[in-house]
Structure 1
Amino acid sequence: MPAMLTDAEKAAIRDHYRAIADNLPGFRSRPAQRQMLAAIANAFSRSKEAVEEGDLPERAGESIVVVEGPTGVGKSLAYLLAGGIMARARNKKLTVSSATVALQEQLVNRDLPFVVEKSGLPLTFALAKGRSRYLCPYRLYQLTSENAQADMLGFDPGLAVWDKKPEEAEILQLREMADSFQHRQWNGDRDTLPANVEDALWMRVTNDRHGCLKSACPNRPECPFYLAREVLETVDVIVTNHDLLLADIAMGGGVILPAPDSSFYCIDEAHHLAKKAISQFAAEHSLSQAMFWLEKVATTAAKVEALTAKHELADQAIEAAGAAMETLTEWMWLLGAEPALAASSDNLEPTWLIEDGRLPEHLKLPSANLALSARMVFKHLSGLSDALAEKRKGPDAAQSDKLASDLGFLLGRAEQMMAVWDLFEKEPDENAPPIAKWIIRRSEGKGDYLFCASPVSAAASLASTLWRRAAGALLTSATLRSLGEFDLLLSQTGLKWLPEVSCQALDSPFDFQSQGELYLPPLNASPKDPGAHTREIVEWLPRLVDLSHAVGSLVLFSSRRQMMEVAESLPEPYQEALQVQGMLPKARLLEAHHQRLAAGQPSIIFGLDSFAEGLDLPGEACVHVIIAKLPFAMPDDPVGKTLARWIEKRGGNPFIELTIPEASVKLVQAVGRLIRTEHDYGRVTILDNRLTRQRYGKKLLASLPPFKRI
């Protein structure tokens, strides 16, 4: 697979990298960072161009590279520099995606300005957010105008966006938002709103692609979403998150972000991508909410018919909504008699997981009927929406705009319902992974049912919608290998089907042998006996943590219950030094931790899964990481259970194939909290005797950094 980097591209990378060294006193060129720069540039140079406009070239992953870059390598500098240079040279956009808001903010506020300033590479950049983060001025003005006020106070049941009478405080907050937006004190971005706004209220004033009036909107020139979109078209680098990237791909690509075939992607925190993709392709809706909006179809369709004279379309929409309501009523009766959904004092909200995603015979017809009705409702409402768009060009614009907004609301709901029933109706081939289908009984109010469906793997979708279409891609993170191999990541993301994808694991710049120790105390109790294991942790912690030193310790638990039991059982002096996750917001907890250390006192953080990743406590803020037990996540959710059963039925072992490899990734991440810089030191202690007693323990230990064993 020969590289096709031009001499000009090589020179640009060399010169801009050298400029950083010249402009930054103390900058040290790291071998691993240079390797990463080269790997990205070489991969992107192998990008294939379409021979004819509109035709996708055959791609086998030649322009995709997977790089595990441990902490301290300087990954963002490597991919922004190499990706930025290659995107400019090859006339592509660079789309950088992360899983967390923290990394997005770091990229836009720190890393990109640093690269531009120090390297001299003139990159322009912007942050891309989903439509739902932006205000729809048209909707807000509609709701706060004199007429809307009268409607709201008298409550017009025809207003599709309200499912309950608005409260006075909500009306007041909407007025304040309208004033601050009108006087340009606020830019319409939810993240810059000074006061907190509840999700339910925000949903009234944001918009989706169905409710948007697009170019016909009277407020288009001041629309925050379109203003942000226009900026995206002019910049070199777009910073986004995995959710928006996947949502855009699901809509066909190029809707909000640049099209895949004109993009080089740098996907950071790539170990989250597969799970995020599964969530993106999942769908759910509640029975009672579906009944609520389906009832509104008749009045809305009648109003559209009066304006457009589309009698047949309106009749068909009303008929389809009626058919959907009829089938939902049938489902209500069927589910009422389903033993798996019988509520008890132990379980007020039971979940019925449909085995292997294969519907029982008596549910196949109601499912097919609802799938057909949902498709028809969506189709006919879309037809009415198109007719209304034509009408808006005439003199009845104001009236039709209000109607288009309501119709858009109904279309969004219809699309959601259609997604659920398309999945319910689908039965994949024998060898393909199944679709998880489950129904939850809700006890609040008059009772309700929630219909949910999700693929158990996003590999096939990612391979066809993203990897085979992208001009090039880098997937990176500090931890991508599982048990020393890339297999789990390649399998879950669908990259295993592209034979020319290259993978590289970079060396850490840290000297783990001299900077850290690994200790496995001789515990008697197995974590499989939670009571005995908890008692032994309580005995061991005072021996492991010395309160006479003003240093930080981080104790990571897999179970909140065990964390709280240990916290409550420790001797008094240890309880005083504790900062327990959940007792304070994360930022306040870390502040309290640093304050104790600054005052010459020891501090111990007790945290769960989310503290095992992305938490940065360099220096003496963390000199001891104690892991209570191996982070095995047994599949207890519907998607995990369905996947595990499928693996079993094919003769596999879900524990060996999924649980252990996933635990390996999490364990490496947890251990990675200790050494964050070249000057850090300390010890990792793991309080789980399965590491020494079970055969898989050796594999898990082998994938950890080479600390000195004590």
Structure 2
Amino acid sequence: MLKPQVKQLIRETYQAISQSLPDYQVRKEQNYLVAEIAKTLAGEYDPQRRILVAEAGTGIGKSLAYLLGGLAVAQNQNKKLVISTATVTLQEQLINKDLPFFLQHSSLKFTFTLVKGRGRYCCEHKLREHADPQDGQQALWDEKPKKSDIDLIKRLFKAYQEGKWQGDRDTWPMPIADHVWQQIVADKHSCSRALSHHHQCPFHRARDELEKADVLIVNHALLLADTELGGGIILPDPDSCFYVMDEAHHLPSIARDFASANIAINASINWLGKLELLNRKIAQQVSGQSTMAPGSEMVSSALSIKQELGHVATFFNANTSLFQNESTYRFAMGELPEPLTVHACAIRDETKTCLKALNKLLSIIAEQLKDGDIKTKVAEPLMADVGSNVQRLENFFQLWFMLAKEPTGKHAPLACWAKRLEQTDADIMLAASPIEVGGLLENQLWSRAAGVFLCSATLTALNSFDFFRHQSGLKEQDGTQYLRLRSPFDYDKITLQIPPMRHEPGNDAYDKELCELIPALLAEKQGNLVLFASYWQMRLVAEKIKSKVKAPLLLQGELSRSQMLEQYKSRCDKGETAIMFGTGSLSEGLDLPGHYLTNLIITKLPFAVPTSPVEEAHAEWIESKGGNAFLQITIPEASKKLIQSCGRLVRKENDWGKITILDRRLVTRRYGKGLLDALPPFKRDIQY
């Protein structure tokens, strides 16, 4: 239950914050959201299932709400508040703006930190080794470094020594090239806290900050990486955390990408052949007989895997017709032909043996380094080499584990496919991915977390949470709470227009009609954004109408995003006509408040055609169960994307303007009404 003293603390904090914000307006939607977050995390609805899913429209103030409702309860119950986002932009807003303001003006005392993966930090010991010209550090590089590479590392080390740089790749003012960063990056094998000379490495110091902090800011990928490892490895244990999943609509797709794996057959054969050279290197540099048995087992297993991969390559060489029409062949219902299944099982088992031997070798090297039986300069490059092979073999095992898995009728099959890689001597890539990740999220996160708040401006599709619930593994009547709060903005200031048209998308004359209509729909001396279904369509229309339009057309892809927005906003600020053409990727995360956007044109409903093997497999699975993939996947996805696209015009309370949709299917097809009804209550001008 929510304790009276916690309620009082939230009220006091809310008052202090509201009085400190200029032009703050009380919003009942935000107050209600704060209360629901606090009650859910306190266990008032269900002490065993403290999960709240909330769709909160633009302008409600989600970040302030979950800080107000979540932090007080978290501190009262001695939990960490972990805020996970999908974008760097939101992370930066939280770290640089929202949290410092909240800390300054609230009565709550807390610390916060941004949590990044190990690969974003340098290793102090490696940095020192590479920056010392007396040490012959060039031998540690894969290729002979340029003078500019050495100079950069010296500058990095000097700044690090002087406290001007904390060893975080993202905070260096200029990009650090990958081949340079790989020489100094912290890795889990050679940059281990168990080694005394690595205690003060930036990654380990960052983890010390994590232990002390009350609020942790992470991204969805890092959170999923931790949960896949069992939780409590990178971040604190899930049962000691309240999670806030902002931009939660991205979570299912990120989880699916995270759980997928792929390998290239010939490249893998070549890599596995190098393990014999690695074994010789270990035998030469590590004293004693302890490495002989695991080294021999590693080489033997690698040889067996190579032979099995050779059989797999032979199968594809004998079945070139699989790639007759396209470069990708997907195995229907995730079922491999019997010969491939046999080889997949053998590779899975041998890989497990090889991985066990390689890990044993890594442990032996680490132990000898700890005991002083091997020099640091010898051990660390060796550990990094062995460690990178362990990591690669783990990814390799993940793929063959999935390919060897027998499909069952109970659960959705995996998407499994092969792709011919023309650029790499006709190598074949094998890949596998789950098509549904709800079970994964339930097992690794929802059932283990102390509490979860999931929020976004677009979590419903067709006015229902059903689509998101299915995607994310939440069940009806499982104790999860749901809340939908409309934006407090005055939508009467915005007109949704669907003009009469002669043709619909799919008709050959549709693009020609777009070229006729768009010039007349562009507003002079205003900010105009036109969203297209594809780059091809965007360029076609731009080419046809550029002579009819008085202002320059700024096309996505011709300039960098920042350059395009800078030129666009500059024209808006001067009161000139500004026109930006973009594709679906601009329908989310583009912030153009006020005069920066008053005229939005959406050319076509955002129906995604299932072109990727994963999307095709998902549609196939639904159809095989008697479902309708168009109604169950395509329409709900289009509903979310259309809401996001329209949301580009509604960023601030006083925003106004017009949204025009040039797709008559909204009024001619049965599904159109559902798509329209799911949009905010704009003033409508629809020609039926």
TM over 0.5: yes
Find the aligned partners of 1:308 and 1:365 in 2 and give their Cα distance.
Answer: 39
Comparing 260-269 with 132-141, greater Cα deviation is found at 132-141
Q: Does 1:36 align with 2:33?
A: yes
Match of 1:337 in 2: 318
Find the aligned partners of 1:630 and 1:591 in 2 and give their Cα distance.
Answer: 28
Find the aligned partners of 1:182 and 1:604 in 2 and give their Cα distance.
Answer: 49
Partner-residue secondary structure (3-state), 1:526: coil
Residue of 571, 574, 579 corresponding to 1:604:
579
Amino acid at match of 1:426: K
Match of 1:67 in 2: 54
Partner-residue secondary structure (3-state), 1:465: helix
Where does the alignment leave 5 or more consecutive residues of structure 1 unmatched?
A: 49-58, 153-158
* Mapping 1:666-705, distance limit 5 Å: 666-705=641-680
Find the aligned partners of 2:613 and 2:130 in 1 and give their Cα distance.
Answer: 40
Q: Does 1:251 align with 2:229?
A: yes
Comparing 286-295 with 102-111, greater Cα deviation is found at 286-295
Alpha carbons 2:138, 2:145 under 8 Å: kept: no
Match of 1:390 in 2: 367
Residue of 390, 409, 425 corresponding to 2:388:
409
Find the aligned partners of 1:567 and 1:264 in 2 and give their Cα distance.
Answer: 49
Pairwise CA distance, 1:290 = 2.4
Pairwise CA distance, 1:586 = 1.4
Partner-residue secondary structure (3-state), 1:527: coil
Partner-residue secondary structure (3-state), 1:601: coil
Partner-residue secondary structure (3-state), 1:214: coil
Find the aligned partners of 1:188 and 1:336 in 2 and give their Cα distance.
Answer: 48
Q: Does 1:325 align with 2:306?
A: yes
Match of 2:434 in 1: 455
Kindly, what percent of the aligned residue pairs are identical?
A: 39
Pairwise CA distance, 1:68 = 0.7
Amino acid at match of 2:639: S
Comparing 572-581 with 274-283, greater Cα deviation is found at 572-581
Match of 1:307 in 2: 287
Amino acid at match of 1:565: L
Pairwise CA distance, 1:213 = 3.0
Find the aligned partners of 1:451 and 1:615 in 2 and give their Cα distance.
Answer: 36
User: Measured at CA, do residues 574 and 427 of structure 1 come closer, stay the same or move farther in structure 2, by a change above 3 Å?
Assistant: farther
Residue of 266, 272, 277 corresponding to 2:255:
277
Match of 2:268 in 1: 290
User: Measured at CA, do residues 560 and 145 of structure 1 come closer, stay the same or move farther in structure 2, by a change above 3 Å?
Assistant: same
Match of 2:398 in 1: 419
Find the aligned partners of 2:380 and 2:591 in 1 and give their Cα distance.
Answer: 50
Pairwise CA distance, 1:47 = 8.0
Partner-residue secondary structure (3-state), 1:336: helix
Residue of 491, 512, 526 corresponding to 1:551:
526
Partner-residue secondary structure (3-state), 2:173: coil
Alpha carbons 2:335, 2:407 under 8 Å: kept: no
Pairwise CA distance, 1:667 = 0.3
User: Measured at CA, do residues 307 and 497 of structure 1 come closer, stay the same or move farther in structure 2, by a change above 3 Å?
Assistant: farther
Comparing 245-254 with 400-409, greater Cα deviation is found at 400-409
Alpha carbons 1:61, 1:499 under 8 Å: kept: no
Match of 2:246 in 1: 268
Residue of 4, 8, 14 corresponding to 1:7:
4
Which 4+ stretches in 1 moved above 6 angstroms?
A: none
Find the aligned partners of 1:664 and 1:177 in 2 and give their Cα distance.
Answer: 48
TM (normalized to structure 2)? 0.94
Match of 1:364 in 2: 341
Q: Does 1:355 align with 2:332?
A: yes
User: Measured at CA, do residues 114 and 137 of structure 1 come closer, stay the same or move farther in structure 2, by a change above 3 Å?
Assistant: same
String of CA shifts for 1:4-45, please: whole Å, max 9, x gaps: 111111111111111122333432221000011011001100
Match of 1:495 in 2: 474
Pairwise CA distance, 1:170 = 4.7
Match of 1:45 in 2: 42
Amino acid at match of 1:544: L
Partner-residue secondary structure (3-state), 1:254: coil
Amino acid at match of 1:333: T
Match of 1:379 in 2: 356
Where does the alignment leave 5 or more consecutive residues of structure 2 unmatched?
A: none
Find the aligned partners of 1:20 and 1:413 in 2 and give their Cα distance.
Answer: 49
Match of 2:498 in 1: 520
Find the aligned partners of 2:179 and 2:400 in 1 and give their Cα distance.
Answer: 25
Alpha carbons 2:526, 2:596 under 8 Å: kept: yes
Pairwise CA distance, 1:182 = 4.6
Find the aligned partners of 1:582 and 1:392 in 2 and give their Cα distance.
Answer: 51
Residue of 81, 86, 109 corresponding to 2:73:
86
Give the number of equivalent residue pairs: 680
Alpha carbons 1:517, 1:682 under 8 Å: kept: yes
Pairwise CA distance, 1:572 = 2.2
Match of 1:642 in 2: 617
String of CA shifts for 1:323-372, please: whole Å, max 9, x gaps: 1122222222222222255478xx6xx12212211110121111111111
String of CA shifts for 1:491-539, please: whole Å, max 9, x gaps: 1000126711010001221121x2111110111211112x422111111
Match of 2:417 in 1: 438
Partner-residue secondary structure (3-state), 1:695: coil
Match of 1:219 in 2: 198
Superposition RMSD on alpha carbons, in Å? 2.2
User: Measured at CA, do residues 291 and 179 of structure 1 come closer, stay the same or move farther in structure 2, by a change above 3 Å?
Assistant: farther
Partner-residue secondary structure (3-state), 2:431: strand
Pairwise CA distance, 1:215 = 1.8
